[in-house]
Amino acid sequence: MQVHLVDGTYELFRYYFALPSHVTAAGQEVAAVRGVVGSLLGLLEEGATHVGVATDHVIESYRNDLWPGYKSSAGVPADLLSQFPILEEALQAAGFVVWPMVELEADDALAAAAADLAADPRVEQVLICTPDKDLAQCVSGQRVVQLDRRRGIVLDEAAVVAKFGVPPASIPDYLALVGDSADGFPGVPGFGAKSAAAVLARWGHLEAIPRDGAAWDANVRGATKLAATLRERWADALLFRRLATLERDAITVDDVEALRWRGPRDELASVARRIDAESLVARALRIAAGRGG
């Protein structure tokens, strides 16, 4: 079987900026929620059977205590933030397993679920549905892959190497050097995608990189200066790698069958009325009926 693990926070942002506003009579913006629930029902219509959705119930996490510039809710539109709890309620009512994260992040839950499911012999493939480059560290062969549903792109391990120049295990080290603007940390000055990939393709992890740039491969431009900068910013590099490393014990998935979609819950009718999306009920019931549910 295939298992789809969905980044609900990414999907909510995606639909917030993609869809026109829809405000209910009660004054609540709900367009993004409607878009995400409809999209996941579409995933079921495409044949998905086992689905788990991770969300950032609170955008801030322990990582904000480690780095003051780490991503936060500051600057996020209020009418987007207000849809986070509604999304979780709507997805659960639609019958999906939802992991709302507080101290940790949705990405951590996805990484943990992928690790548990990859160890289950009943699971043929785990598809992590997000384009977030953090999750590339979880890719393994063709068994655990990333799926960008919007663009229809699948990244297996060979594709990760082709894209970043390093294997999945080196992705946290790579992000530590080049930075991650989406997560709010800058990386080590001077390092770009090519130089970071060049040293990590050879050495694998930060600790293995020679302190003296003279020992680096000749194709690393400015190796002496980069090595000196890395020595000076060593503590930052290790911190950034920690920020980029996902917590694979964030949640536990004991049984893949817990993720099997078995149809909507009774409360979907009332939730759908509140978000002006009553057609979602008939759609969900139709999918369930088609599966004998």
Q: What pLDDT shows up at residue 293?
A: 59
Nearest to 84 by CA among 12, 10, 17: 12
Q: What is the residue whose two structure tokens read 């790698």?
A: 241
Residue 258's Cβ-count burial label (10 Å; 0-12, 13-18, 19+) is exposed
Q: Which pLDDT value is given to residue 216?
A: 83
Dihedral of CA 183/67/169/50: which sign? negative
- Whether residue 287 is predicted with pLDDT greater than 70 in this model: the reply is yes
Mean pLDDT, residues 240-266 taken together: 96
User: What ranges do the domains of the chain cover?
Assistant: 2-158+247-290, 168-244
Q: What is the pLDDT of residues 15-29, one digit of tens each?
A: 999 999 999 999 999
d(CA 284, CA 293): 10
CATH class label, 168-244: mainly alpha
pLDDT at residue 23, as a whole number: 97
Alpha-carbon distance of 71 to 27, in angstroms, equals: 28
Mean pLDDT lowest for which of 221-225, 227-231, 244-248?
221-225
Whether 60 and 76 have beta carbons less than 8 Å apart is answered as no
Cβ-count burial of 100 within 10 angstroms (0-12 exposed, 13-18 middle, 19+ buried)? Answer: buried
Q: How far is CA 232 from CA 217, 226, 227, 229, 238, in A?
A: 20, 10, 9, 5, 12
Please determine, for residue 163, whether its predicted confidence score (pLDDT) is greater than 90.
yes
In contact, 237 and 230? CB cutoff 8 Å: yes
The Cα 185–Cα 67 span in angstroms is 8
Q: What is the mean pLDDT of residues 223-240?
A: 94
* pTM summary value: 0.95
pLDDT digits 0-9 by tens, 68-114: 999 998 889 999 999 999 999 999 999 999 999 999 999 999 999 99
Class of domain 2-158+247-290: alpha beta
